[in-house]
Chains A and B, each alone.
Chain A
Amino acid sequence: MAALAVLDYFWVVYRRTWRGSVMGRFASPLMFLGSLGLGLGSLVDSASGGVNGVSYLHFVVPALIATQAMWVALGESTYQVMAYIKWNRMYRAMLATPLGVGQVLFGHLTAVAAHLSVASVIFVGVCAALGTLSGWGLVVCIPLAVLTGMAFAIPLFAVTATLDSDEPMSIIFRLVVTPLMLFSGTFFPIDSLPVALQGLAWITPLWHGVELCRAAVLGGAGPGLVAAHLAVLLAYVAVGAWAARRTFTRRLVP
């Protein structure tokens, strides 16, 4: 398991830098629960009596678990990957050892999955501790959120490896990520969107992750639907992995 050696590196880095990120990991569920769940929720509940029969808090929290996973994945797979390719050339240093591209890639992605797991466990833990939600469904959200995150991270690894500078990244964030977050059904059901935008939601990983987490906590989704959501996310992971392997090889060992 040579990829373990790569993982070791990320562990060393993490031990040095975890403080800032862990503070954020705890703060973010608290803030979103307070602002959207309680604050905005009080407006929604008094105006429409909640969403689809549940309070806004219950509607929005499971979706936030998936959305936060997307954000974590983005942080780990755009600027971070660019840094390792170009700015501090960490990948090249790793490839100067007997490690191959596949192992370096696998090692880094495993580190991303670990970050996602930590973030999701903390988010779910905070929700449970505050008593806003409970039940096994919440626990099931953890692997679902990790899967959602990886469905973003892996294709983004592939894309980042083709970029010459970080300039397109801010464009990706503004034109792709922000609308995704806003129109993915996290904050309101997508049926209130125009049909064209709904179609957009269907092809993006976040909406599937959001629906899966919501189904896990609130129930009400048939096995066929759940399988379909899972299939889409897994397809992103598989195609992303294939593409990332190719673009990494082309970039790092031309």
Chain B
Amino acid sequence: MLAARVIERNVLAYRRLWVAFLTGFAEPVFYLFSLGLGVGALVHSVTTDAGTTVEYATFVAPALLASSAMNGAIFDSTYNVFFKLRYARTYEAMLATPIGPRDLALGEIAWSLIRGAMYSAAFLAVAVAIGAVDSWWGLLALPAAVFIALAFSAVGMFATTFMRSFLDFDFITLAIQPMFLFSATFFPLGTYPDALRLLVQATPLYHGVALERGLMLGEVGWGLLGHVAYLAILGMIGAVGVSRRLARLLLS
């Protein structure tokens, strides 16, 4: 399992960056307090798309969990991977060993899943502590967050292999920011006109948010498996794409 060596290298590199690592926990928690306390005071309660009426903090917590899984995965799989691919040429050095492009792809994706899972677990604990989780199904929110991280890190890394300079990351922001703002994160899908609703439902973050919200609010049905399938397929396509692209770029 040479992919495990790629993870080992990242653990080694991150040992000195533990402060940055720890602060990663803080960000989604800030969002939760700000939206829950501040905006919550203005909105009071929300009726979800499934028909339950909940406090705003409870409504928004699953969406923040999904978004932070997305953001963490994107950060790891885009900026960090781009740096190692184009500037530090870390991968080129690694490919001079028995490690191959597929090991690189699997290792990097697995690493961002591990980080994502740790962040998600911490956020979930805070959400439980402030009473924003209504159901025991909420325990499954953690593995669900891993699926979200899988989809975004694989696709993000795939996109990164096409980047030519750091300027191209403007396009990543251009894709991520609207998803963060519109994937039924801050207000229910029902707020949209019908045409827009279909558009929103096509985005990966929407499926992540809907999955987390279903689990944390206990609105559980077979439909949730559809969201899981969407994320898993996206992750699979991304992972295959990444190892092909790395082979093309580094073994020419």
Chain A residues whose C-beta falls within 8 Å of the C-beta of B34 in the assembled complex: 179, 182-183, 187
Contact code string A22-46 (vs B, CB < 8 Å = 1, else 0): 0110011001101110011011100
Complex-state Cα separation, A170 to B171, whole angstroms: 20
Complex-state Cα separation, A17 to B56, whole angstroms: 41
* Residue A134 CB within 8 A of the other chain: no
- Whether B37 pairs with A27 at a CB distance below 8 angstroms is no
- Whether B39 pairs with A40 at a CB distance below 8 angstroms is yes
Closest residue to A175 on the B side, CB-wise?
Answer: B23
- Whether A44 pairs with B42 at a CB distance below 8 angstroms is yes
* Residue A157 CB within 8 A of the other chain: no
* Residue A167 CB within 8 A of the other chain: yes
Contact code string A101-128 (vs B, CB < 8 Å = 1, else 0): 0000000000000000000000000000
Chain B residues whose C-beta falls within 8 Å of the C-beta of A207 in the assembled complex: none
Chain A residues whose C-beta falls within 8 Å of the C-beta of B23 in the assembled complex: 170-171, 174-175
Q: Closest CB-CB distance, B55 to chain A, in whole Å?
A: 11
Interface-forming stretch among B95-103, B179-187, B217-225, B233-241? B179-187
Chain B residues whose C-beta falls within 8 Å of the C-beta of A170 in the assembled complex: 20, 23
- Whether A17 pairs with B167 at a CB distance below 8 angstroms is yes
Complex-state Cα separation, A228 to B167, whole angstroms: 38
Query: For chain A residues 21-71, which have a beta carbon within 8 Å of chain B?
Result: 21, 23-24, 27-28, 31-32, 34-36, 39-40, 42-44, 47-48, 51, 56
Interface-forming stretch among B24-32, B142-150, B205-213? B24-32
- Whether A47 pairs with B43 at a CB distance below 8 angstroms is yes
Tell whether A31 pairs with B181 under 8 Å between CB atoms, given A42-B191, A43-B46, A188-B41. yes
- Whether B38 pairs with A188 at a CB distance below 8 angstroms is yes
Q: Closest CB-CB distance, B92 to chain A, in whole Å?
A: 19
Chain A residues whose C-beta falls within 8 Å of the C-beta of B31 in the assembled complex: 178, 182
| Contact size range, A | 20 to 34
Contact code string A1-32 (vs B, CB < 8 Å = 1, else 0): 00000000000000001001101100110011
Contact code string B98-127 (vs A, CB < 8 Å = 1, else 0): 000000000000000000000000000000
Chain A residues whose C-beta falls within 8 Å of the C-beta of B26 in the assembled complex: 174-175
Closest residue to B41 on the A side, CB-wise?
Answer: A192
- Whether B42 pairs with A188 at a CB distance below 8 angstroms is yes
Chain A residues whose C-beta falls within 8 Å of the C-beta of B194 in the assembled complex: none
- Whether A34 pairs with B181 at a CB distance below 8 angstroms is yes
Closest residue to A32 on the B side, CB-wise?
Answer: B181
Contact code string B185-215 (vs A, CB < 8 Å = 1, else 0): 0110001100000000000000000000000
Partner of B44, one of A24, A48, A179: A48
Contact code string B158-178 (vs A, CB < 8 Å = 1, else 0): 000000000110110110011
Tell whether A39 pairs with B182 under 8 Å between CB atoms, given A167-B17, A171-B23, A174-B26. yes
* Residue A193 CB within 8 A of the other chain: yes
Partner of B177, one of A28, A36, A193: A28
Chain B residues whose C-beta falls within 8 Å of the C-beta of A40 in the assembled complex: 39, 43, 186-187
Partner of A31, one of B33, B39, B177: B177
- Whether A48 pairs with B27 at a CB distance below 8 angstroms is no
Complex-state Cα separation, A100 to B24, whole angstroms: 39
- Whether A35 pairs with B43 at a CB distance below 8 angstroms is no
Chain B residues whose C-beta falls within 8 Å of the C-beta of A28 in the assembled complex: 177
| Listed residue (B31, B43, B173) with the most chain A CB atoms within 10 angstroms of its CB | B43
Chain B residues whose C-beta falls within 8 Å of the C-beta of A23 in the assembled complex: 170, 174
Query: For chain B residues 39-84, which have a beta carbon within 8 Å of chain A?
Result: 39, 41-46, 56
Q: Closest CB-CB distance, A174 to chain B, in whole Å?
A: 4
- Whether B20 pairs with A167 at a CB distance below 8 angstroms is yes
Complex-state Cα separation, A48 to B46, whole angstroms: 12
Complex-state Cα separation, A43 to B45, whole angstroms: 9
Chain A residues whose C-beta falls within 8 Å of the C-beta of B129 in the assembled complex: none
Chain B residues whose C-beta falls within 8 Å of the C-beta of A24 in the assembled complex: 170, 173-174
Chain A residues whose C-beta falls within 8 Å of the C-beta of B30 in the assembled complex: 178-179, 182
Q: Closest CB-CB distance, B46 to chain A, in whole Å?
A: 6
Complex-state Cα separation, A39 to B19, whole angstroms: 36
Q: List 14 A-B contacts (CB under 8 A).
A: A31-B178, A35-B181, A36-B186, A39-B187, A39-B192, A40-B43, A43-B43, A44-B43, A48-B44, A167-B20, A175-B23, A187-B35, A192-B41, A193-B38
- A residues at B contact (CB < 8 Å): 17, 20-21, 23-24, 27-28, 31-32, 34-36, 39-40, 42-44, 47-48, 51, 56, 167, 170-171, 174-175, 178-179, 182-183, 187-188, 192-193
Given contacts A48-B43, A183-B38, 16 further A-B contacts (CB under 8 A): A17-B167, A20-B167, A23-B170, A23-B174, A31-B182, A34-B181, A40-B39, A42-B187, A43-B187, A47-B44, A167-B17, A167-B20, A171-B23, A187-B39, A188-B38, A192-B38
